[in-house]
Amino acid sequence: MQGNISTFNMASNPSVFLLMVTGQIETGDFPSISDDLYVKFNYVYGQDWVTTAGLEEGTSQTSKKSQDDRSLYAWNFPLDVTFKSTNPFGWPQLVINIHGQDVFGTAVVRGYGAVHLPISPGRHVRHMPMFVPESSSHFQKFTSWAMSRRPEFRDHNTVARSEGREVTRVKSQGSVRVTFNVVSRDMKKLGYDVVPSTLSIPSAATASAMASNPTTGAGAAAVPTANVFAMKTS
């Protein structure tokens, strides 16, 4: 009986929320590239996040560009991962690297990209812009091409961070289409509402009335009873 009571209390008063994501890295559109390409992916997330199931990283099969009018690379590589966390800070991002070969047969990175996982439940489609670092001068660009040593990030997770990005020169390469199927659990029980139809956003009149009332104004706002979490994803 005691074990059943403790299990019930854990279910009714959760200390973490779950984010379950499945989907596919479907296709890539790289107009200026004709060689075969494959995908490497991984996730970047905050310190409070933990992976409880699924794959944190993976490598797809090699794909050739289609011979139809679309000229797409088709991977349809599955994604399946589950996270748990105590707060939404450091929301997970999917990092993708596209790899291929240059004219000398040397393996090179054809594109970097990152996107936040959707926060609301349901099916989502994201078109991730892909880019590569560019040499700072024409001479360095020619030298790197001749020596098959193109500019690359030492840490491919750099694309998911903001530090140093403002001084990095990049060139657009194309895009990758990714689909996500998102299921969350216990977020609302912890005070985080991510469903657009149920977000409790006060109107301008209500906010003005709360500010003018000392019992519901700044003093009351110092001790919030719930959190409304919203994030824009590209």
Quickly count: other Cβ atoms within 10 Å of residue 117's Cβ: 23
Phi and psi at 212, nearest 5°, equal -85, -15
Q: What is the CATH classification number for the domain harbouring 76?
A: 2.60.40.150
Q: pLDDT class for 102, splitting at 50, 70, 90?
A: confident
Q: Which two tokens stand for residue 91?
A: 């929301």
Query: Quick check: is 70 in a domain?
Result: yes
Would you say residue 212 has pLDDT above 90? no
Q: Average pLDDT over the chain, rounded to whole? A: 78
Q: pLDDT class for 160, splitting at 50, 70, 90?
A: confident
Query: Quick check: is 86 in a domain?
Result: yes
Query: Quick check: is 43 in a domain?
Result: yes
What is the tens place of the pLDDT at every residue in 73-92? 999 999 999 999 998 999 99
Cβ neighbours of residue 98 closer than 8 Å, sequence gap 6 or more = 28, 30, 37, 38, 39, 109, 110, 111, 112, 113, 130, 173, 176
Query: Rounded to the nearest 5 degrees, what angle is found at the Cα of 195, between the Cα atoms of 192 and 197?
Result: 125
Domain count, the chain: 1
Exposure on the CB side of residue 144, measured as CA atoms within 13 A: 14
Residues spanned by the domain of 36: 10-188
What is the tens place of the pLDDT at every residue in 25-35? 999 999 888 88
Full-prediction pTM beyond 0.75? no
Quickly count: other Cβ atoms within 10 Å of residue 98's Cβ: 27
Would you say residue 117 has pLDDT above 90? yes
Query: Quick check: is 194 in a domain?
Result: no
Query: Quick check: is 80 in a domain?
Result: yes
Q: Of 113, 103, 108, 114, which Cα lies nearest the Cα of 152?
A: 108
Q: Identify the residue with better confidence: 156 or 84.
A: 84
Dihedral of CA 39/79/72/114: which sign? negative
Q: Which two tokens stand for residue 129?
A: 């812009």
